[in-house]
């Protein structure tokens, strides 16, 4: 049997988050095979019946997925519960997502959900029930001795989800298990098939579980439509009109609604104050770097070391969106943890609101990250 790298040594009490997908199913399977005392939990975060949307779609938080989670738990003989986190999900994820789009940002709700709900609420509830460890089906790894745990990319480069987990603290990593992080997706499917789990052949979930159509439509439905406005170029010349800034993302090329250009045009900026979408050729997306706020540095010693060495700068690889390979940057980290990044050799399109996650120069260990600001 293939085992997880961060395989626990003794029997532990673990809450495993079951989404109803194959990854978390196999996470539970592996932990069960290792003999741990498990409970399986699905998190009720969004009621499609109240909000319309993707109830028919197979995503990670649709009610039909709970049925699959329940079946997997039953086959593995793991007690299974649904925890209701709807109100905190609404407040901490949905409201922030909608507000952010309405202000011209492109937020990443999965990061918020992991930090605040999955590893916030779930961990608290688990603790109440006497379970200190939380396991999920994320493709990421935790390595190192107690007290100096490191968060690493998952082995499977296509599936790596460490990007979504930068908000974790080193202290929490000791109580976090990612059983599939050392496996590839095909290996995970093999294990599920061999164990006869109903989720073995299940399709991949989407990036944002609560959005079925476009993010813009969702924002309009929940938060109201933003007014139409002008599309201009950098100099302010009006090129057309848009149907609300919440429908646009910096770097977007398709669906801008302006044709007849010889070279492709991109959304290069969104100005919420003037309600304008600014477009231009690709080179206008180029920036020297970017700033991040709401940072988290996984190992606080990193800041202490920097301060002690008097080193003003740190070399790192910045991943600025999901499925971005990462580019070299030089980081300048303030005493309070805020940070600016400067591109070294190549630049990448920056969308304010997205998470920027910083890895070591080998592009394996997550150092920390934050939300990109203007």
Partner 1 sequence: MRKFINLDANASYGPLPALKPSSILDSDYLNPSSIHRGGQRAKAAIELARDRVRELVGSDSALKVIFTSGATEALNLALNFPPEVARGRTIVSTTIEHPAVLAALQRFEKFGGVVRWVAPGRNWEFSEAPFLNALAEKPLLVNLMCVNNETGQLLPVAEISQALRSAGYRGLVLSDAVQAAGKLDLSFAGLGADMLALSGHKIGALPGVGALVVGNRTDLEPLVVGGPQEGRLRAGTENVPGIISFGQAAEYVRQNLAHRLARYAALRDTLEREISARFPDTIINCANTERVANTSSLTFPGVNADDLVVALDLAGIGISSGSACASGKPEPSHVLLAGGLAPATARSTVRLSFTAEAADDELAYCIEKLGDAVERLRGAA
Active-site residues, by number, are 113, 209
**Residue 47 makes contact with partner 1 by CB under 8 A:** yes
Shortest separation between residue 82's beta carbon and partner 1, angstroms: 3
Shortest Cβ 257–partner 1 spacing (Å): 41
* Among the residue ranges 79-87, 326-334, 344-352, 361-369, the one whose residues contact partner 1 (CB under 8 A): 79-87
Q: According to CB under 8 A, which one of 1, 9, 77, 128 is a site residue for partner 1?
A: 128
> Which one of 8, 58, 71, 81 is in contact with partner 1 (CB under 8 A)?
81
Which pair of structure tokens corresponds to residue 167? 């908000």
- Residue 373: CB partners within 8 Å, gap ≥ 6? 290, 291, 292, 293, 352
What is the closest distance, in whole angstroms, from the C-beta atom of residue 314 to partner 1 in the complex? 39
What is d(CA 135, CA 128) in angstroms, rounded to the nearest whole number? 16
42 lies in the site for partner 1, by CB under 8 A: yes
Tell me how long the chain is: 374
Residue closer to partner 1, measured from CB, 46 or 347:
46
Of residues 7, 74, 129, 228, which one binds partner 1 by CB under 8 A? 129
Pairing of strands 229-232, 276-280: parallel
Quick one: which of 5, 33, 58, 86 contacts partner 1 (CB under 8 A)?
A: 86
Number of Cβ atoms within 10 Å of the Cβ of 192: 22
Which C-beta is closer to partner 1: that of 91 or that of 334? 91
Interface residue with partner 1, options 52, 74, 91, 127 (CB under 8 A):
127
Q: Which residues, 6 or more positions from 92, have their beta carbon under 8 angstroms from its beta carbon? A: 112, 116, 117, 120
Give long-range contacts, CB 8 A cutoff, 24+ apart: 54-63.
Answer: 54/209, 54/210, 54/211, 54/212, 57/206, 57/212, 58/202, 58/203, 58/205, 59/205, 59/206, 59/209, 60/19, 60/20, 60/21, 60/205, 60/206, 60/209, 61/19, 61/209, 61/210, 62/20, 62/209
Residue 87 near partner 1 by CB under 8 A: no
**82 contacts partner 1 (rule: CB under 8 A):** yes
Strand order in the sheet with 238-242: 238-242, 229-232, 276-280, 266-271
* Minimal distance, residue 242 CB to partner 1, in Å: 39
> What is the x/- site pattern for partner 1, positions 96-125, by CB under 8 A?
-----------------------------x
50 binds partner 1 (CB under 8 A): no
Residue ranges that bind partner 1, judged by CB under 8 A: 39, 42, 44, 47, 79, 81-84, 86, 125, 127-130
């Amino acid at each position: 049997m293939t085992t997880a790298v961060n395989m626990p040594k003794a029997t532990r009490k673990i809450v495993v988050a079951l989404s109803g997908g194959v990854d978390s199913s196999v996470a539970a399977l592996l932990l069960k095979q290792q003999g741990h005392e498990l409970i399986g939990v699905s998190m009720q975060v969004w009621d499609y019946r109240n909000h319309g949307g993707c109830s028919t779609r197979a995503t990670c938080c649709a009610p039909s997925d709970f049925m699959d989670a329940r079946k997997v738990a039953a086959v593995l003989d793991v007690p299974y519960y649904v925890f209701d986190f709807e109100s905190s999900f609404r407040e901490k994820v949905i409201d922030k997502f909608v507000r952010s789009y309405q202000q011209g940002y492109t937020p990443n709700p999965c990061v918020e959900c992991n930090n605040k709900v999955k590893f916030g609420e779930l961990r608290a509830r688990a603790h109440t029930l006497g379970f200190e460890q939380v396991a999920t089906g994320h493709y990421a790894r935790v390595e190192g001795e107690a007290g100096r745990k490191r968060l690493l990319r998952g082995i499977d480069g296509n599936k790596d989800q460490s990007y979504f987990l930068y908000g974790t603290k080193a202290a929490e990593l000791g109580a976090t298990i990612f059983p599939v992080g050392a496996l590839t997706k095909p290996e995970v499917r093999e294990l599920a098939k061999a164990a006869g789990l109903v989720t073995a052949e299940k399709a991949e979930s989407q990036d944002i579980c609560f959005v079925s159509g476009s993010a813009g439509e969702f924002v309009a439905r929940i938060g109201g439509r933003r007014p139409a406005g002008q599309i201009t170029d950098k100099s302010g010349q009006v090129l057309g009109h848009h149907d609300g800034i919440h429908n646009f993302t910096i770097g977007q090329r398709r669906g801008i609604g302006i044709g007849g250009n010889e070279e492709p045009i991109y959304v290069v900026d969104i100005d919420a104050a003037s309600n304008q979408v600014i477009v231009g050729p690709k080179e206008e997306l180029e920036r020297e770097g970017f700033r991040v706020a709401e940072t988290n540095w996984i190992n606080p010693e990193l800041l202490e070391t920097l301060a002690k060495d008097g080193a003003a700068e740190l070399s790192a690889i910045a991943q600025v969106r999901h499925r971005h390979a990462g580019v070299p940057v030089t980081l300048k980290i303030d005493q309070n943890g805020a940070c600016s990044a400067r591109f070294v050799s190549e630049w990448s399109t920056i969308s304010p609101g997205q998470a920027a996650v910083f890895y070591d120069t080998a592009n394996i260990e997550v150092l920390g990250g934050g939300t990109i600001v203007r």
